[in-house]
Amino acid sequence: MTNHRRFSEHKLIIASHNQGKVREIHDLLRPYKIEVVSAGALGLDAPEETGTTFVANAELKARAAAEAANLPALADDSGLVVPALNGDPGIYSARWAGPEKDFDMAMGLVEDGLKDIDDRSAYFVAALALCWPDGHCETFEGRVDGSLVWPPRGALGFGYDPMFLPHGNDQTFGEMNPDAKHAISHRADAFTQLTRACFAD
């Protein structure tokens, strides 16, 4: 059994400039009474994501923030994996939205790629990395499976949520209220692993 480092500090950086992601992570951390601050609010630069996996990119972002601010940092790297598109957009999910973060365009690109393809299965992956200024990191990965719908439905959530229909549900992530999404999402799966390992009593 792996011995995980317990989180005992009172302040944590969320190493993200994505406000939707910061909001979701903050909501998931609320029960632990930790003061959280985003990398964006601290004026920290976002490092170039040169990793080839979700875990590698999450760790890269968390390490950079922890070293820059001398505080523990939590980073998430997540994306939509579409098997029929050879796993794209995958780790490039945010880049498909371009510099303007236009996810309507990104969802359109996914849909264009699926023309004349029957397989509309997809899954979201979320990797979490919790890193301390001394270089120690804990990493966790969560996943939720589903299928893709068109046209997109719902204005809640962010990113590709409006076109993702999780298995066993009739609402897309874009239609679900945040509590319902948090109960089943890829980020919630990774967070359950993280909190059991590093935060639970």
What's the CATH code of the domain at 170?
A: 3.90.950.10
- Binned at pLDDT 50, 70 and 90, residue 3 comes out as confident
- Annotated catalytic residue, options 27, 76, 77, 179: 77
Catalytic residue check, 161:
no
- Binned at pLDDT 50, 70 and 90, residue 130 comes out as very high
Question: CA triplet 41, 66, 5: central angle to 5 degrees?
Answer: 125
Q: Residue 1: inside a domain, yes or no?
A: no
Q: Residue 177: inside a domain, yes or no?
A: yes
Q: Residue 5: inside a domain, yes or no?
A: no
pLDDT at 1 > cutoff 60 = no
Q: Residue 2: inside a domain, yes or no?
A: no
Pairing of strands 35-38, 121-131: unpaired
pTM over 0.85: yes
Q: Residue 3: inside a domain, yes or no?
A: no
Residue 25's domain comprises 11-199
Number of domains in the chain: 1
Q: Residue 6: inside a domain, yes or no?
A: no
